Structure 1
């Protein structure tokens, strides 16, 4: 082969692969990450799970790819014609030389503005204190009537009624219908809340709807709806969307429920659980009553055992009286002895003093002391006599003779034993009956174990 010197002087030509590779490197190094907004077109979802679509405006379009690992995080699948915002990396698909974006995140085009409006209203109402826990009204444990503000055709009312029918079907429910999506929904929700107050039957109010996008739920982020919920005198439960959805209504309501079904469970008691509690309390009440009855019986038996025999009490009182009488006598004797000793001592001191004047003075002192001694002795003797008479009178009240004086009698048999039981004597036996004054001798004509008074015979 002949070498052409003219051919060797031409610049080296790149292969298609080299050109695409360099173009890809240039794009990826120049555009690290971009946000692009446009209309979604040509959306496809092959079996691989990846998403392929184009993003266009009035003049141009660009291909986009969102791989399965990224699009699994997206809750709502976009559809043809949606206005969206995407975040991703600009690159080149080298195999076909296609300029494209590898998408990492996708959201509705208006989401950023809505989120900003949400945060601004949240800060405003929070600063006014509408979220304060101290303003939250308690939800009644057993509501007499439940109100529901939602769409009459949505899944939320069906879920709420299904749960209420299962848990406590006896509670009446009133629906205050309203649209829950779109521009008219805001005013309709406010009117429905006002209607529930005018109606005046509900003592708890569920406000909400089923799940949806941020735009679908936006009426529950409106300021007028938030203020209507906060000013409602009826305890309110916010039940908007799914568990992950958060709206301004959740913050101002007295209670937030993650779903409409959960709201129905929170405001309704479980009748099966209530029946179980009633049965349990009935059992505990009966058990407590039985225990109390047993304790009272035990206490009664204990008190009965402690009850003392009156005769034994009488004997103890008599013994105590004898003891006091002896102590009184000893006290009088000791007092007299001390006074005599003192008198003797004074007489000795008087005898020991020789001057006549002192003797005369001492005699006067002795006379006065003797007079005081006599008076003191008379006073003490009088007091002790009164005490003795009082004690004797008290003893006489409890003495057997006083008992006989009140009409009772003591019956003795011929051996002199006290008869306590009718079985101790027989017909024909002599009977000696002691009464208050004297004794009656009689003969037993009949014996009966009956304590009732016998009917006197007819004359």
Structure 2
């Protein structure tokens, strides 16, 4: 080991490792401040403290990163190994190990920065054109005759919308205009669905949206063609794109922005329970007004009768007229109540027609009918096959050699079991076997006489 020079020792004292690392850390943080870095995540870990630790790498280098809980809690999704990300971080040094690292302030998927810039540019452009102005937005009808929904037919959004609509107003017709909500085909399909609904006047209000996702997943609803289709729509449009924290250009242009698909369904559908309550309130108020008017008329009639010397027939006519008015009012009220009850009964009946229990019962009846037809067909087929088998057996018995034996013929074979058809197949003295209808003969050839001799 080389000795330290007396001059160096007298000029300064040696630094401890802690002091050295602290000075290096201060130098890094002052020199670099913050940096925007892009790379791939690896070695990701998330201990119970809530902090995230990972390595950011490219094909030539890597650096350790830490993102503390007070920063990562604002991210919608936790990153995973292999994700390409862009992060904004402070360059620092971990004094305990002397390791240089990045303290991450914010993190997003690589490429989202360009999408956000495109979003802000289009937002500024449409803002200058006045497409976000409140005065150009159309009111949402309180009691629509039909609701249209532009979304994916298989996503969670359509299930939430249908569930809320059925719960709030079961008799409200719903028209689904199915479209892809992600990818290059999504924006043109959404535009076409909005234009079709307007051209054919398919509904009174439109819900346009999808479930949650990343900025890239929701990008179809940030396209300019979708924004202009919404702005040009004569039908009021409620946007329902993503979660409450997601904002798209479609949300800004739409006549009303719903934080979720379920909230959009609530906005466009009246709650039938509220309307029934309102109806009963109106009924009570009307009954009160009718009673008050009748009481006032009767009181006035009584006062007039008291002032008249001979009220006679006039009072009788007025009294009869008041009674007539009361009867007509009561009849009208009963008629209106009956009409509303009939409409409610009709709605309940229509709901009953689509009840799963009835459809299951019909399915059981159809299955029973099919089983009965199948059993009849199997019985008929079995009878036909049995008759065909009997005819075949009779035919085979007719052509069987055994049947020939029963008519007095026999079959003769040599010792090798070969059937003899000519006399020249045997020699004198050879043993042969003759099979009769009943039994077998073993014979010795004493002579072989050719045919015609």
- TM-score for the superposition, normalised by structure 2: 0.64
Can you list the C-alpha shifts for 1:378-416, whole angstroms capped at 9, x where unaligned? xxxxxxxxxxxxxxxxxxxxxxxxxxxxxxxxxxxxxxx
Counterpart CA distance in 1 for 2:284 and 2:114 is: 61
Counterpart CA distance in 2 for 1:16 and 1:138 is: 70
Counterpart CA distance in 1 for 2:151 and 2:2 is: 86
Say if 1:239 and 1:260, in contact at 8 Å, map to a contact too: yes
Instruction: Find the counterpart in structure 2 of residue 410 from structure 1.
Output: none
Instruction: Find the counterpart in structure 2 of residue 369 from structure 1.
Output: none
Instruction: Find the counterpart in structure 1 of residue 192 from structure 2.
Output: 191
Say if 1:56 and 1:62, in contact at 8 Å, map to a contact too: yes
Show the 5 A alignment for 1:80-99.
80-99=81-100
Instruction: Find the counterpart in structure 2 of residue 136 from structure 1.
Output: 137
Say if 1:140 and 1:203, in contact at 8 Å, map to a contact too: yes
Instruction: Find the counterpart in structure 2 of residue 73 from structure 1.
Output: 74
Instruction: Find the counterpart in structure 2 of residue 222 from structure 1.
Output: 223
Can you list the C-alpha shifts for 1:1-48, whole angstroms capped at 9, x where unaligned? xxx996664856654434323322221221222221222222111122
Structure 2: where are the runs of 5+ without partners? Answer: 312-453
Show the 5 A alignment for 1:197-212.
197-212=198-213
Instruction: Find the counterpart in structure 2 of residue 151 from structure 1.
Output: 152
Question: In the alignment, is residue 256 of structure 1 matched against residue 257 of structure 2?
Answer: yes
Question: CA shift at 1:289, angstroms?
Answer: 0.4
Can you list the C-alpha shifts for 1:127-175, whole angstroms capped at 9, x where unaligned? 2222232322221111111100011111110110111011001011111
- TM-score for the superposition, normalised by structure 1: 0.63
Show the 5 A alignment for 1:93-112.
93-112=94-113
Say if 1:39 and 1:56, in contact at 8 Å, map to a contact too: yes
Question: CA shift at 1:201, angstroms?
Answer: 2.4
Can you list the C-alpha shifts for 1:415-455, whole angstroms capped at 9, x where unaligned? xxxxxxxxxxxxxxxxxxxxxxxxxxxxxxxxxxxxxxxxx
Change (3 A) 1:10 1:18: farther
Counterpart CA distance in 2 for 1:36 and 1:274 is: 58
Q: Tell me the matched-pair count.
A: 307
Say if 1:176 and 1:195, in contact at 8 Å, map to a contact too: no
Instruction: Find the counterpart in structure 1 of residue 248 from structure 2.
Output: 247
Say if 1:163 and 1:265, in contact at 8 Å, map to a contact too: yes
Counterpart CA distance in 2 for 1:215 and 1:228 is: 20
The alignment's C-alpha RMSD in Å is: 2.1
Question: CA shift at 1:126, angstroms?
Answer: 2.2
Counterpart CA distance in 2 for 1:8 and 1:204 is: 88
Task: Give 3-state SS (helix, strand or coil) of 2:259's partner.
Answer: coil
Instruction: Find the counterpart in structure 2 of residue 292 from structure 1.
Output: 293
Task: Give 3-state SS (helix, strand or coil) of 2:42's partner.
Answer: strand
Structure 1: where are the runs of 5+ without partners? Answer: 311-459
Can you list the C-alpha shifts for 1:219-264, whole angstroms capped at 9, x where unaligned? 1010001111111221111111112221111122111111111110
Question: CA shift at 1:84, angstroms?
Answer: 1.7
Instruction: Find the counterpart in structure 2 of residue 305 from structure 1.
Output: 306
Instruction: Find the counterpart in structure 1 of residue 171 from structure 2.
Output: 170
Counterpart CA distance in 2 for 1:52 and 1:10 is: 45
Question: CA shift at 1:275, angstroms?
Answer: 0.4
Question: CA shift at 1:273, angstroms?
Answer: 0.4
Counterpart CA distance in 2 for 1:117 and 1:150 is: 24
Can you list the C-alpha shifts for 1:279-336, whole angstroms capped at 9, x where unaligned? 11111111110110000000001111111469xxxxxxxxxxxxxxxxxxxxxxxxxx
Instruction: Find the counterpart in structure 2 of residue 20 from structure 1.
Output: 21
Counterpart CA distance in 1 for 2:111 and 2:152 is: 25
Question: CA shift at 1:183, angstroms?
Answer: 2.1
